[in-house]
Amino acid sequence: MSKQKLHFNSKTIHGGQQPDEAYGAVMPPIYQTSTYAQTTPGGHKGYEYSRSANPTRTALERSLASIENGTYGLAFASGLSAIDAVVKLLEPGDEVISTNDLYGGSYRLFRQVFEKFGIQFHFTGLQDLDVLESKITSKTKLIWVETPTNPMMNVVDISGVSELAKKNNILLAVDNTFATPYIQRPLDLGADIVMHSATKYLGGHSDVVVGALIVNDKKLAEQLYFIQNASGAVCGPMDSFLVLRGIKTLHVRMQRHCENGKEIAQYLKAHPKIEKVYWPGFEDHPNHEIAKKQMSDYGGMISFIPKGANYKDAIRIVEQLKVFTLAESLGGVESLAGHPASMTHASIPKEEREKSGVVDSLIRLSVGIEDARDLIADLEQALE
Ligand code: P1T
């Protein structure tokens, strides 16, 4: 059976991979080298300098392309440097439309770094395609979608946005960090670019900071590769190895993240001290129909608001948790809890942030793969 035809749960292990040519090593060696011997200028075996390419990074990039059903993968030093490369495709005067609810660091990069170079960003709820259509102008060159969004768990119809993007000749990029390709594959739904903070579920063990882009179009891949090499924010060999190792268990980890996520979401929803739970698997989630259509499961990210809570109450609850660790980030095997208003989304002005629902009392959980009973007991004692 051709490796390209494998099912997802085999692609995570074999996709784009082959034993190393030198000694047949099954896992690609960590080629911890900056440079490569040449027999004559330009006489090399495909690698000349590790910013341009490194064999361990190549192995990761092939795996990334495979699991996202893409043709080309690019691995970056962080999720944000991957986003940075996408925005560098644009010119001064170009405009971007993005979800208004997104990772605070992406918002900060757009507003505080790129706006001063003459690129304009519009943030709006992309759940409503009519609203999106009304915002498109002849200057719109990129639509940036996070789905599910961080931290409000809104779901955007990727196929619907893609139709509008194609009609207007606009690039569509989807940040697939929360869902992962185990749950949703944006390229199959019409996106041009898939982006990951591989720091999260792809790495899966909270031990690296890595970013990824995956595309199908050769010209787009070449433009992004040019930017990656010219700007230099590449993923190092050790980090490439770690993410590659993480990807090999992505499907089994995700299955448990989804099971535990469902259990915790239902527990919270039934809890008398909880006001609201945000999780796309609920039938009464405003975008549940789209979620059901484009996602095969609902993941382990949940946000919630305790009843009558203020800023201090939310902080007290996250400080009380013992099995959940109070920390930035998500997607590792261990459960994490965060307070978006003061942590991951603090770089978004309060007024902006609250418009999309990121209020002071909101708590975000990254449900890990521990025994769900221990996670529920931990939440129970903290909510007491
Ligand atoms: O941290 P980095 O690898 O640079 O990725 C940035 C990023 C991009 N997109 C999404 C959806 C993200 O969640 C992140 C990083 N997020 C966190 C650190 C967090 O705790 O939400």
Percent of the chain with pLDDT over 90: 97
Q: How many residues does the chain have?
A: 384
Domains (range + CATH), the chain: 8-247 (3.40.640.10), 251-383 (3.90.1150.10)
Alpha-carbon span 331 to 320, nearest angstrom: 21
Round the average pLDDT of the chain to a whole number and report it: 97
Task: Average the pLDDT over 225-232 and give the result.
Answer: 98
Q: Is the pTM of this model over 0.85?
A: yes
User: What span, in angstroms and rounded, lies between the C-alpha atoms of 74 and 228?
Assistant: 8
Is 200 one of the annotated active-site residues of the chain?
A: yes
Give me ligand 1 centre to Cα 344, in Å: 8
Above 90 in pLDDT, residue 1?
Answer: no
What confidence tens digit (pLDDT) does each residue in 281-296 have? 999 999 999 999 999 9
**Pairing state between β 211-215 and 193-197:** antiparallel
The pairing of strands 140-146 and 120-124 is unpaired
Evaluate whether 370 touches 334 at the Cβ level (below 8 Å): yes
Q: Which of 64, 180, 197, 209 to mutate to test the pocket of ligand 1 (most atoms within 8 A of CB)?
A: 197
Q: What percent of the chain has pLDDT over 70?
A: 99
Nearest Cα to Cα of residue 64 among 265, 201, 261: 201
Determine whether 364 is an active site residue: no
Distance CA 177, CA 196 (A): 5
CA of 45 to the centre of ligand 1 (A): 35
Active site residue 103: yes
For position 54, what pLDDT does the model report? 98
pLDDT of res. 2: 58
- Give the pLDDT of residue 185: 98
Distance CA 349, CA 352 (A): 5
| Cβ neighbours of 381 (radius 10 Å) | 12
The secondary structure element, H or E, covering residue 13 is: helix 8-14
Q: Is the CB of 329 under 6 A from ligand 1?
A: yes
Catalytic residue among 31, 57, 72, 103: 103
Ligand 1 centroid distance, CA of 303 (Å): 16
Q: What is the pLDDT of residues 46-80, one digit of tens each?
A: 999 999 999 999 999 999 999 999 999 999 999 99
Task: Dump pLDDT digits (tens) for 294-307.
Answer: 999 999 999 999 99
Q: 78: which 2 tokens?
A: 């962080």
The 10s digit of each residue's pLDDT in 4-26 is 589 999 999 999 999 998 899 99
User: Which pLDDT band holds residue 101 (cuts at 50, 70, 90)?
Assistant: very high
The DSSP code for 114 is: I
219 counts as catalytic: no
Q: How far apart are CA 211 and CA 198, in angstroms?
A: 5
Q: Which amino acid is at 43?
A: G
Q: In whole angstroms, what is the distance from residue 179 CA to residue 262 CA?
A: 14
CB of 303 shorter than 6 A to ligand 1: no
CA of 347 to the centre of ligand 1 (A): 13
Q: How many Å lie between the centroid of ligand 1 and the Cα of residue 107? A: 11
Q: What is the pLDDT of residues 156-199, one digit of tens each?
A: 999 999 999 999 999 999 999 999 999 999 999 999 999 999 99
Contacts 24+ apart (CB under 8 A), 379-382: 379/264, 379/267, 379/268, 379/321, 379/324, 381/320, 381/322, 382/317, 382/318, 382/320, 382/321, 382/322
CA within 13 Å, CB half, 195:
27
Q: Which pLDDT belongs to residue 4? A: 59
Of 157, 175, 297, 378, the active-site residue reads 175
Indicate whether residue 105 lines ligand 1 (CB < 6 A): yes
50 within ligand 1 shell (Cβ under 6 A): no
Tell me how far the alpha carbon of residue 364 lies from the centroid of ligand 1, in angstroms: 13
At residue 3 the predicted structure's pLDDT band, cuts being 50, 70 and 90, is low
- Determine whether the shortest distance from the Cβ of 201 to ligand 1 is under 6 A: no
Nearest atom (ligand 1) to Cα of 102: 11
The predicted pLDDT at position 5 comes to 86
* Of the candidate ranges 28-42, 58-72, 343-357, the one whose mean pLDDT is the lowest: 343-357
DSSP character at residue 324:
S
